[in-house]
Amino acid sequence: MSTTAVPLRSIAKGSLTRLWIGIAAVALAAGGLAWAGQQHVPASPAAFLSDNAKADGVVTTESGLQYKVLSEGTGPSPTTADVALVGYKGTLLDGTVFDENPQAPMPVDGVVPGFSEGLQKMKKGGKYRLWIPAELGYGDQAAGPIPAGSVLMFDVELHDFKSRAEIMQMQQMMQQQQGSAPGAAPQPMPGN
């Protein structure tokens, strides 16, 4: 049995150094990407809210609600006695959309406390981003696709609002119009 010898070429001067520099650069880039990826994932809801409070334009209320005015509306703000017509998109911190509606009527006092507080700060035509801490949202209760203890993020546009009294009056007028429409059955007179 014979062995064939294969001559090895020598490595060019500086090639080994360049190889190690390339490996170090790739390792640093991978570490940097891993670090950057972790910066977008909040360690906890409290940590997110603490960091978010320092962001440009974010206002934190006494209750803990955070909001940012995306565009200011005009006129008065709704109260708890009003029904607001809003467009909204609700997401979790990981970006999962849990609810969305371009035009929904909502009693201002009939939504989670943080959403109600945010609506009362807005004016007609305004667009806000709300960050609602769990204690002003659903708390430690899971609600459908929303896990317990979640910070809720809403982009909200306030289209309009009316008082409950105005809405009741409009409903009564509509019922009266329907009752006197052509072809409608005659309404009985009291006492007949």
Separation CA 48–CA 14 (nearest Å): 48
Residue 32 pLDDT level (bands cut at 50, 70, 90):
confident
pLDDT, tens digit, 9 for 90 and up, residues 152-189:
999 999 999 999 889 889 889 998 888 765 555 555 44
The pLDDT value recorded for residue 192 is: 43
Domain extent for 92: 59-169
Q: Go through 136-169 and write b for each residue having 16 or more CB atoms within 10 A of its CB, e for each that does not.
A: bbbeeeeeeebeebbbbbbbbbbbebbeeeeeee
Q: Does a structural domain hold residue 162?
A: yes
CATH code of residue 98: 3.10.50.40
The pLDDT value recorded for residue 16 is: 67
Give the chain's mean pLDDT: 86
The pLDDT value recorded for residue 82 is: 95
Q: What share of the chain is helix, strand, coil (3-state, %, to 5)?
A: 30, 25, 40
| 101 and 164 Cβ atoms separated by less than 8 Å | no
The pLDDT value recorded for residue 69 is: 97
The pLDDT value recorded for residue 149 is: 94
pTM of the model: 0.70
Separation CA 92–CA 9 (nearest Å): 59
The pLDDT value recorded for residue 78 is: 97
Q: Does a structural domain hold residue 75?
A: yes
Q: Does a structural domain hold residue 67?
A: yes
Separation CA 28–CA 87 (nearest Å): 45
Q: Does a structural domain hold residue 117?
A: yes
Number of compact structural domains in the chain: 1
